[in-house]
Amino acid sequence: MSETRRLVVAGHGMVAHRLVETVRKLDTDGQWRITVFAEESRPAYDRVALTSYVDGWDAGALALPGADYAGDPLVDLRLGDPVLAVDRERRTVRSASLELGYDALVLATGSVPFVPPVPGRDLPGCFTYRTIDDLDAIRAAVERSGRGRRAALVVGGGLLGLEAAKALRDLGLSPHVVEMAPRLMPLQVDDGGGGLLKDLITELDVTVHTATTTERIEADGDRLLATLGNGTELDLDLVVFSAGIRPRDDLARGCGLDVGPRGGVLVDSSCRTGDEAVYAIGECAAVEGSVYGIVAPGYAMAEAVAAQLLGGQAAVQEPDTSTKLKLLGVDVASFGDAHARTEGAREVVFADAVAGSYQKLVVDADLTLLGGVFVGDASRYPLLRTLVGKPLPGDPASLLAPSGGGGVGVDALPPSAQVCSCNAVTKQDITTAILEKGCSDVASVKACTRAGTACGSCVPMLGKLLDSCGVQQSSAVCEHFAFSRRELFEIVQATRITTFGELVSKHGTGSGCAICKPAVASILATLGNGHILDGEQAGLQDTNDRFLANIQRNGSYSVVPRIPGGEITPARLKVIAEVAEEFSLYTKITGGQRIDLFGATVDQLPLIWRRLVDAGFESGHAYGKALRTVKSCVGSTWCRYGVQDSVGMAIELELRYRGLRSPHKIKAAVSGCARECAEARGKDFGVIATESGWNLYVGGNGGTTPRHAELLVSDVDSETLIRTIDRFLMFYVRTADRLQRTAPWIEELDGGLDHLREVIVDDRLGICEELDAAMAKHVDGYADEWRGVLEDPEKLARFSSFVNAPGTPDPTISFRTEREQPVPVLLGVPEVRT
């Protein structure tokens, strides 16, 4: 055995841990004794998933396996003891606690957040967004700010800035994002993708300010006042700087090593500096002058250095800089030459603003894929990213069209296609793990190959490869529950659990996420668990449900009172007009025969509700996954063709099913004759009058995939009709997947519509009595959610733009007049008059 040598690693982030892990794996003879000097007080953790820390404040959930090196006598991890200086002549490093010699030194000091030189950036209430400690400090500041409507500013609209905005949103604040470029994520997406991204982000209660800067930050009592370059002033609880990173190269500068033109320890393709005993990896390294701020190149650097330390030769190849972000359900991805900078590059774009999707492929004249951008719908990203540099297997337009796909699937990928760019895992690696090593689910594939363990964007591909290899997939809601939504419903119903915390502690793991929390919130609401803003339930709700109103693109809200069947008295119509005038609201009659009132600020919502509730109105549930409307024609009461009272039936159905929480929104209609003026067959359930009764159609919808409903029962009387709809809705609520509309739910039932008819008409499963009782319980237990807020001072306190100044209007919300009505002014968006 050769003499043991000393390896010193300065820094202990994800890349440093990968280095130590790889050296220990390869060093079977124990050639190297490793000392790691870590600046933070905890071992390396998953910084890529930092935003998820807000979900449960469990630092252990971010821990990297084995990062404490417990029981390894050849690794000494020194937490909270960073390297302060390097003496290259003596080959020693000095920390606060000791001086230590080295045979090889690896600088893995990472980066520091870039804080623009904004006056006031050092004031209390200003934070950076980089570490667990940063998030703990932000959380403490939020808790000190009290309850009610709170606001925060994120300086930077790139990848890190949007991650910070998500964390702040999850903390209950209304974030403003300021980006000096004309679009969000300017390095990753183009103008078209950036425009849609801004719209989608705005819908999530995040106000976006592009093409401007933060000019100054001032203390205003115990709050902050930020002034933007366009003159906008923001009253804030806190400011978070997340405007990019800068390589931490101070150790290199201090010991005379060369640095890159834009910072970073200058290294060659093998990650070696000008000193043969010193390497640099990760975000502090400038590989032949280029610095990379994502984890995949860092891992490649770590493995290259590990190979050299053990006597091999290795170099870092041109890294894959593809990125994928998911922000509260908004997918953003880019890969390759996303901006078509290659000579001769051509762009193929498919944009659907209605569906909220922007997709672009960049190809050359021979249809070789060069890159792409996806916003809103990134389902094709995992497959197409692996084809960069290869001829496309089909016409580019067909690969992007909704009904397309061009035959592209995992089977079309060559074995050498890199599925996981973070860990350089190929399709062959994954299929080998499945077919030869017995991996039978995504978790085991991740453990075996490391695929999907960094950014996670390739995880959907792992599922598809399992399917391709003939392995049946789990229907689990998410990683925190090993159950489908249907199974969770049954668990909650059987155990009478009333809180998410109890459910996840007894039947799940971790602290939950943005997928399972709203799903469980819907289940709890369906089973009659009180007001949705009671206690813990308030924090489980989606954005709109938190304020019982739909947020609009300028940060204001819409108010939609229920108008069953579209029938309204002149007196109530007058109240709506008076409310609209008093609060300067935009009014519009909808396709669901209701009147929408747009432009209310959050503090105005209870005032508007009070006027409406006193006049006999209630919430129309336009914000929730619940019954929206039951549309109707005038039927036999007025129409000479009508054969039944469609208005009366529509009103009865809407009042019966109002407030019913479900996997997705539900729309319905009743037509008084076969002429179908209410468009009943385009609804989740539709009723059409006949001479002898009613026909019931189910499983229709509009949206991105319009579908006609199918006939379930015909010529039934009113009692049978209502009983059948009761059972249809309760069976759907109990068994559908999260966010699954009735049409795909019926299609996925084993036996489809025929099976549905057997269950709810013929009672083949013997559950109809139970379904009837469940609907009766819902009808008897209904309570208006608006009234529930008005009668509870604690809930009312949530409805304030600024907690320390109740009633103060949000200065970022403004309007202009168009067609004699107020419409929103969107900062950075050119005004278009019609």
Per-residue DSSP letters for 200-247?
Answer: HHHTTT-EEEES--EEEEEEETTEEEEEETTS-EEEESEEEE-S-EEE
Q: Are the C-beta atoms of residues 687 and 677 closer than 8 Å to each other?
A: no
CATH topology classification for 542-619+784-809:
Sulfite Reductase Hemoprotein; domain 2 (3.90.480)
DSSP 3-state of 557: strand
Q: Are the C-beta atoms of residues 140 and 119 closer than 8 Å to each other?
A: no
Residue 644 has pLDDT above 90, yes or no: yes
Structure-token pair, residue 141: 């500041």
> Which residues belong to CATH 3.90.480.10 in the chain?
542-619+784-809
> Which residues belong to CATH 3.30.413.10 in the chain?
627-783
Q: How many CA atoms lie within 13 A of 371 on its CB side?
A: 21
User: Does domain 627-783 match CATH 3.30.413.10?
Assistant: yes
Q: In this predicted model, what pLDDT tens digit does every residue of 79-102 receive, in sequence order?
A: 999 999 999 999 999 999 999 999
pTM of full prediction above 0.85: no
Q: Are the C-beta atoms of residues 530 and 537 closer than 8 Å to each other?
A: yes
* DSSP code at position 437: S
The whole-number pLDDT of residue 293 equals 84
% of the chain surpassing 90 pLDDT: 50
The whole-number pLDDT of residue 1 equals 45
Q: Rounded to 5 degrees, what are φ and ψ at 535?
A: 50, -130
User: Does domain 126-243 match CATH 3.40.50.300?
Assistant: no
Residue with structure tokens 């009508």?
Answer: 642
Ligand-binding annotation for 639, yes or no, is yes
**653/726 Cα distance (integer angstroms):** 10
**Which region among 96-100, 138-142, 173-177, 508-512 has the lowest average model confidence (pLDDT)?**
508-512
**Which region among 89-93, 220-224, 412-416, 739-743 has the lowest average model confidence (pLDDT)?**
412-416
Element (H, E) at 536: none
* DSSP code at position 411: G
**Which region among 634-638, 762-766, 800-804 has the lowest average model confidence (pLDDT)?**
800-804
CA nearest neighbour of 454 among 414, 476, 423:
423
Average pLDDT of the residues in 817-823: 85
Structure-token pair, residue 679: 């468009």
Q: Are the C-beta atoms of residues 408 and 383 closer than 8 Å to each other?
A: yes
**Which region among 360-374, 405-419, 449-463 has the lowest average model confidence (pLDDT)?**
405-419
E-only strand ranges, 144-196:
150-155, 173-179
Ligand-binding annotation for 455, yes or no, is no
One-character DSSP codes across 648-716: HHHHHHHHHHTT-B-SS-EEEEEESSTT-TT-GGGSSEEEEEETTEEEEEES-B-TTS-B--EEEEEEE
Average pLDDT of the residues in 257-274: 93
Residue 441 has pLDDT above 80, yes or no: no
% of the chain surpassing 70 pLDDT: 94
Tell me how far apart the terminal alpha carbons of the chain are, to the nearest angstrom.
Answer: 83
Architecture of the 412-473 domain: Orthogonal Bundle (1.10)
Q: In this structure, which CATH number among 3.10.20.30, 3.10.20.340, 3.40.50.800, 3.50.50.60 belongs to the domain 5-111+247-309?
A: 3.50.50.60
**Which region among 103-112, 420-429, 676-685 has the lowest average model confidence (pLDDT)?**
420-429
DSSP 3-state of 533: coil
Residue type, 391: P
Average pLDDT of the residues in 564-577: 94
**741/739 Cα distance (integer angstroms):** 6
Q: In this predicted model, what pLDDT tens digit does every residue of 276-318 receive, in sequence order?
A: 999 999 999 999 888 988 888 999 999 999 999 998 888 888 7
Q: In this predicted model, what pLDDT tens digit does every residue of 391-404 receive, in sequence order?
A: 887 778 777 765 43
The whole-number pLDDT of residue 811 equals 66
Residue type, 14: M
One-character DSSP codes across 304-343: HHHHHHTT----PPPP---EEEEETTEEEEEEESTT--ST
Q: Are the C-beta atoms of residues 305 and 25 closer than 8 Å to each other?
A: no
Residue with structure tokens 């922000």?
Answer: 327
Residue 473 has pLDDT above 70, yes or no: no
Q: Please give the residue that has the higher pLDDT: either 448 or 204.
A: 448
The whole-number pLDDT of residue 807 equals 59
Q: In this predicted model, what pLDDT tens digit does every residue of 124-133 receive, in sequence order?
A: 999 999 999 9
CA nearest neighbour of 305 among 282, 327, 328, 288:
282
Split at pLDDT 50, 70, 90, the class of 680 is very high
Ligand-binding annotation for 768, yes or no, is no
CA nearest neighbour of 184 among 323, 33, 350, 27:
323
Q: Please give the residue that has the higher pLDDT: either 221 or 104.
A: 104
> In the predicted model, what is the mean pLDDT of the chain?
87
**527/494 Cα distance (integer angstroms):** 11
Residue with structure tokens 């007894």?
Answer: 506
> Which residues belong to CATH 3.50.50.60 in the chain?
5-111+247-309, 126-243
**142/243 Cα distance (integer angstroms):** 21
The whole-number pLDDT of residue 149 equals 52
**31/308 Cα distance (integer angstroms):** 13
The whole-number pLDDT of residue 406 equals 43
Q: Rounded to 5 degrees, what are φ and ψ at 245?
A: -130, 160
Who contacts 643 (Cβ-Cβ below 8 Å, separation ≥6)?
Answer: 636, 672, 673, 689, 690, 691
Ligand-binding annotation for 439, yes or no, is no
Q: In this predicted model, what pLDDT tens digit does every residue of 17-72 receive, in sequence order?
A: 999 999 999 998 899 999 999 999 999 999 888 888 887 788 888 888 899 999 89
Q: How many CA atoms lie within 13 A of 251 on its CB side?
A: 29
Residue 574 has pLDDT above 80, yes or no: yes
**783/769 Cα distance (integer angstroms):** 24
Helix axes 427-435, 459-468, angle to 10 degrees: 50
Average pLDDT of the residues in 186-209: 87
Cα distances (angstroms) measured from residue 396 to each of 137, 340, 346: 48, 15, 11
The whole-number pLDDT of residue 154 equals 96
* DSSP code at position 626: B
The whole-number pLDDT of residue 812 equals 66
